[in-house]
Amino acid sequence: MEKNREIRETENIPVTEPERQYYFIEKAAAHLREMSREAGRPLTFCVTTFGCQMNARDSEKLVGILEKIGYVEEENEEKADFVIYNTCTVRENANLRVYGRLGQLGRIKKKNPHMMIALCGCMMQEPEVVEKLKKSYRFVDLIFGTHNIYKFAELLATRMESDRTVIDIWKDTDRIVEDLPSERKYPFKSGVNIMFGCNNFCSYCIVPYVRGRERSRDPKAIIREIERLSADGVSEVMLLGQNVNSYGKTFNPPVTFAQLLKEIEKVEGIRRIRFMTSHPKDLSDELIEVMARSKKICRHLHLPVQSGSTRILEKMNRRYTKEGYLDLVERIRKAMPDISLTTDIIVGFPGETEADFEDTMDVVRKVRYDSAFTFIYSKRTGTPAAVMEDQVPEEVVKKRFQRLLDEVQTIAAEACAVHEGTVQEALVESVNEHDDSLVTGRLGNNLLVHFPGDESMIGSYVNVRLNECRGFYYIGERTEKEK
Ligand code: SAH
Ligand code: SF4
Ligand code: F3S
């Protein structure tokens, strides 16, 4: 009898996606109801995200699935019954943070019989990490990677039905599953994946190994998602990809990123379009033209330079030169004088000399970035740079890093001060964390302004006079005057 039922159940499991996952959401929900009954209270979850905006977007998908299953969100991970870490491995310190916090979680788990811990994201794509977890962190319940995140409900239901750790890691994938639930962090803005993976293999970077080969999402699916978001109150979208400028190249016939942008501009209700990240080698004149003409595409480009030295850029496999980059910046500025430019810079790449570093400083002074993320080179096992000779000594790197940071910050503060006194449109994002008589709004160029207001303004666009620049943000006031 029991056996027959089991067979019937197996037969009923849908084989197509996303139907299969909705089936497992129901199944996990039934288990959760049982677990809640035992505990005598609703069970809670907490998703902690490390790393970039891709991970942040993936976490929204995890939250969407968890809420559909019936878990209730708990902000404090030490109190939650189900803790999920969505991990990053782009630099060594990202990994160390995960291990540190995991040790602490293990101690808490001993005291809570209902507690479960799941690990997912980029770190899980590294075999040595999974080995280490299996050996030294046996209290982890569920481990999965970046390619099968859509299977979260299925994996969770499997874990609920057995008491063994469930581990499912795929090496790569060519599939993209559409139409799964997701829960946005902000009601008025949303990230939208337009592509997954990366094919660039910059020699220092682990992302292509942990995120797999580049795959673009079908433009129709992207537009459908944005139309739905708009109908649901979203007015700002951030298009996400490791290299958005190579979007659609594999389609037959190819679709360019600029063409995709033009389609997205037509979606009613969308007022702001952002995107990241742009690889300088693929940024086309067509894109500059479309941006310059657009009223919706924000005047902001994140254009990681990584190094200003042509010699180092070559060793990094970035496929542009210092001069090529500066020329690109000039073309962009000519078409859009008011554009805000931001960047990523790595200090201490193997073989970097004082002269190479001076080239980086030179680019910083010439481009005058509105802001820059600066990183100390971190050796990632398995990447070509990890085995390059001439790794730069730590003391040298630290000194260079400080010099770069000082320069970047001085220039950013000057660049920010240029807009002092002007009136700009801000999208109100939140009540100010430190002073609840203020709200915080984001300008088109991505800078923040704090000004008097209240919760009711969240999600609306208002004109703000930027009275005072405080380095990286403004203090302002609302005004009716048009900019
Ligand atoms: N796809 C994006 C970047 C993704 S990773 C691009 O190509 O621009 C984000 C940033 O982390 C990179 O721009 C780089 O500056 C930094 N980064 C990547 N690998 C690193 C490493 N091994 N050490 C230090 N910084 C690194
Ligand atoms: Fe890494 Fe380069 Fe790909 Fe960016 S483009 S994710 S830096 S390999
Ligand atoms: Fe980190 Fe993965 Fe993003 S390694 S930076 S979370 S793609």
Q: Tens of pLDDT along 96-139?
A: 999 999 999 999 999 998 899 999 999 999 999 999 999 999 99
| 46 annotated ligand binder | no
pLDDT of residue 172: 87
Closest-lying ligand 2 atom to the alpha carbon of residue 318: 2
Q: Which residues, other chains included, contact 198 with Cβ-Cβ below 8 Å and sequence gap of 6+?
A: 205, 207, 208, 211, 214, 242, 243
Which pLDDT band holds residue 399 (cuts at 50, 70, 90)? very high
Q: What residues does 464 pair with on adjacent strands?
A: 424, 478
Which pLDDT band holds residue 394 (cuts at 50, 70, 90)? very high
| 202 annotated ligand binder | yes
Q: Which residues, other chains included, contact 21 with Cβ-Cβ below 8 Å and sequence gap of 6+?
A: 65, 150, 151, 152, 153, 154, 177, 180
Angle at 467 between CA 461 and CA 473, to 5 degrees: 70
pLDDT of residue 303: 98
Nearest CA to 317 out of 172, 441, 200 is that of 200
pLDDT of residue 472: 87
pLDDT of residue 471: 86
Nearest CA to 167 out of 210, 124, 109 is that of 124
Q: Which residues, other chains included, contact 316 with Cβ-Cβ below 8 Å and sequence gap of 6+?
A: 202, 203, 204, 306, 307, 346, 349, 385
Model confidence at 1: pLDDT above 80: no
- Phi and psi at residue 447, in whole multiples of 5°? -80, 160
Q: What percent of the chain is modeled with pLDDT above 70? A: 97
Tell me how far apart the alpha carbons of residues 265 and 228 are, in angstroms, rounded to a whole number. Answer: 14
Which pLDDT band holds residue 175 (cuts at 50, 70, 90)? confident
Residue 361 Cβ contacting ligand 3 at under 6 Å: no
| Pocket probe mutation, ligand 3, options 53, 199, 205, 207, max atoms within 8 Å of Cβ | 207
Model confidence at 56: pLDDT above 70: yes
Model confidence at 3: pLDDT above 70: no
The mean pLDDT value of the chain amounts to: 95
pLDDT (average), residues 407-411: 97
| Pocket probe mutation, ligand 3, options 97, 119, 147, 210, max atoms within 8 Å of Cβ | 210
Which residue's CA is minimally distant from atom 13 of ligand 1? 344
Q: Tell me the ligand closest to 317's alpha carbon.
A: 2
pLDDT of residue 458: 97
pLDDT of residue 482: 65
**pLDDT by residue (tens digit) across 285-300?**
999 999 999 999 999 9
- Phi and psi at residue 98, in whole multiples of 5°? -65, -45
Which residue's CA is minimally distant from atom 7 of ligand 3? 207
| Residue linked to tokens 């990240």 | 277
Listing DSSP states for 57-105 in one string gives HHHHHHHHHHHHHT-EE-S-TTT-SEEEEEE--SSHHHHHHHHHHHHHH
pLDDT (average), residues 24-44: 96
pLDDT (average), residues 247-273: 96
Q: How far is the CA of 140 from the centre of ligand 1 (A)?
A: 29
CA–centroid distance for 238 within its chain? 10
Tell me how far apart the alpha carbons of residues 347 and 358 are, in angstroms, rounded to a whole number. Answer: 11
Tell me how far apart the alpha carbons of residues 190 and 297 are, in angstroms, rounded to a whole number. Answer: 15
| 122 annotated ligand binder | yes
Tell me how far apart the alpha carbons of residues 177 and 157 are, in angstroms, rounded to a whole number. Answer: 19
pLDDT of residue 213: 94
pLDDT (average), residues 384-395: 95
**pLDDT by residue (tens digit) across 313-352?**
999 999 999 999 999 999 999 999 999 999 999 999 999 9
Model confidence at 37: pLDDT above 90: yes
Which pLDDT band holds residue 9 (cuts at 50, 70, 90)? low
Q: Is the Cβ–Cβ distance between 238 and 190 less than 8 Å?
A: yes
**pLDDT by residue (tens digit) across 430-472?**
999 999 999 999 999 999 999 999 999 999 999 999 999 998 8
Closest-lying ligand 2 atom to the alpha carbon of residue 201: 8
Residue 200 Cβ contacting ligand 2 at under 6 Å: yes
pLDDT of residue 4: 45
| Pocket probe mutation, ligand 1, options 52, 88, 90, max atoms within 8 Å of Cβ | 90
Token code pair at residue 204: 């220092």
85: left (phi over 0), alpha (psi -120 to 50) or beta: beta
pLDDT (average), residues 215-237: 97
Q: What is the dihedral of CA 49, 55, 57, 59, to 10 degrees?
A: -40
